[in-house]
Amino acid sequence: MRTTVSIVLLAVVILGFGLSLLDVPFAERKSQIGDYYIVNGRDQTGATNIVTSVVLDYRGFDTLGEITVLFVAALGLGAVMAAAGGRRERPSTTEPPSLVLRTGTNVLFPLLILFGVYIFVHGHLTPGGGFQGGAIIASAFLLVYLCCRERRINLARKTAADSLGGIVFVGLGLVGLAVGSRYFLSDFLPKGSLDTLFSAGMIPIIYIAIGIKVGAELAGVIDDLLEETE
């Protein structure tokens, strides 16, 4: 019964939506704004990756909101999981991890961290950025949890990384409000020369802050979900 009703309901929605798609032709230019970013993005922001210049400069406020959303979810998950009791010691897995797994983890962990850092440091030049790099860093921690369940991230350090990442972003935005063009989140740093690592004003700094913050938050999410596994 419920399935039938939902199918009928969905059919109406999809029909209406499908009809309106006729007004959105595939593979044609729909927006002058995208063109403007492509043409002016390099000069205005100094980044060769235009997506990065949109994410961090033109629509940087969205990204500030986005890291806030992740911050909210990580905190909320922590609050929900901690509601019944405090943080507990996690019992180690019944059988100790094999030598291969342990060695593999020890070798891979720094490599993954390095790869994540590479991704977010080069966010303004190549595909990738703070979010992708942060996710890779979190997966390095996931690997550690798979190998040695009893290891915990240092809560104070995680919180500090998380908070400082956010504070750097907001702080840079407020400095932009105070100096230069006097707009919140405006880029007041020199742009440097195109296509070099030290260019694009504050984009690399913000992406490093985001990368560390996202990595800490996602690792914290995994840590919270693993809490008190029987």
Partner 1 sequence: MIIIVTILVAVMLAAAVAAFVFKELLSAVLAACLVSLIASILFLFLQAPDVAMAEASIGAALVTAIFVIAIKRTGKREE
Partner 2 sequence: MTFLHNYIYYIGALGLVLIGLLIVLAKHNLIKVIIGLSILDTGINLFIIAVGYIREGTAPIFSEPGLEPGRMVDPVPQALVLTSIVIGVAILALALGLAVKLHKEYGHLDLRKIKELRW
Partner 3 sequence: MVSPALLIAVPLGLAFAVPLIGLASRKAAQYVPVVASLFNLVVSVILIPQALDGPIVVHIGGFGPPFGIMLFAGPVGLFMSTLVALAGFIVSIYAIASIKTGPTTRYHTLYLLLLIGATGLVLTGDIFNLFVFFEILTISSYALVAYHGDRGGLEAAAKYLVQGAVGSSLILLGIGLLYGLTGTLNMASIAAAVGPVTSVSVFVAMALIVVGLGVEAAIFPLNAWLPDAHSSAPSTISAILSGIAIEVGLYAVVRVVFTVFGASSMLLFLAFLAVLTLLVGEMCAFAQHNIKRMLAYSSIGQIGLILFAVALASSASVAAGLFQLLSHTLSKVVLFLAAGYMIHRSGSTEISSLEGMGMRMPLTSLAFAVAAFSLVGLPPFAGFPSKFLIIRTAVAQQGALFLVLVGLVLFGTVIEGTYFFRVVQAIFFKKRDSQPARDEAPALALVPMFLVVALIIAIGVYPDAITGLLDSAAAELLERAQFIRSVLG
Q: Interface with partner 2 by CB under 8 A: which residues?
A: 2-3, 6-7, 9-10, 13-14, 17-18, 21, 24-31, 33-35, 37-39, 41-42, 48-51, 53-55, 59, 62-63, 65-67, 69-70, 72-74, 76-77, 80-81, 83-84, 125-127, 129, 131, 194-195, 214, 218, 221, 224-225
Choice between 46 and 123, CB closer to partner 1:
123
The number of angstroms, rounded, from the C-alpha of 55 to the middle of its chain's C-alpha atoms is: 12
Q: Are the CB atoms for 112 and 147 separated by under 8 Å?
A: no
Query: Token match 């991230």: residue?
Result: 153
* Least distance between partner 1 and beta carbon 106 (Å): 20
Non-local CB neighbours of 197 within 8 Å, separated by 6+ positions: 121, 122, 125, 204
Non-local CB neighbours of 119 within 8 Å, separated by 6+ positions: 128, 129, 132, 133, 136, 211
Q: Tell me which of 42, 46, 47, 52 binds partner 1, using CB under 8 A.
A: 52
The CB-based long-range contact list for 158-163 (8 Å cut-off, 24+ gap) reads 158/216, 158/219, 158/220, 158/223, 161/212, 161/213, 161/215, 161/216, 162/71, 162/74, 162/213, 162/216, 162/217, 162/220
Choice between 5 and 100, CB closer to partner 2:
5
Q: Are the CB atoms for 210 and 52 separated by under 8 Å?
A: no
Where does this chain bind partner 3 (CB under 8 A)? 16-17, 19-24, 30-34, 36-37, 44, 57-62, 64-66, 68-69, 71-73, 75-80, 82-84, 156, 159-160, 162-167, 170-171, 173-174, 176-177, 181, 183-187
Kindly write down the DSSP assignment for every residue of 195-226, as one continuous string. TSSS-STTHHHHHHHHHHHHHHHHHHHHHHHH
- Binding partner of residue 170 among partner 3, partner 1, partner 2, none, CB under 5 to 8 Å per kind? partner 3
DSSP symbol at 56: I
* Least distance between partner 1 and beta carbon 1 (Å): 17
* Least distance between partner 1 and beta carbon 139 (Å): 6
Residue span binding partner 1 (CB under 8 A) among the ranges 35-43, 56-64, 89-97, 121-129: 121-129
Q: Tell me which of 142, 148, 153, 177 binds partner 1, using CB under 8 A.
A: 142
Non-local CB neighbours of 204 within 8 Å, separated by 6+ positions: 121, 123, 124, 197, 198
* Least distance between partner 2 and beta carbon 196 (Å): 13
* Least distance between partner 3 and beta carbon 164 (Å): 8
Choice between 70 and 212, CB closer to partner 2:
70
> Is residue 225 a contact residue for partner 1 (CB under 8 A)?
yes
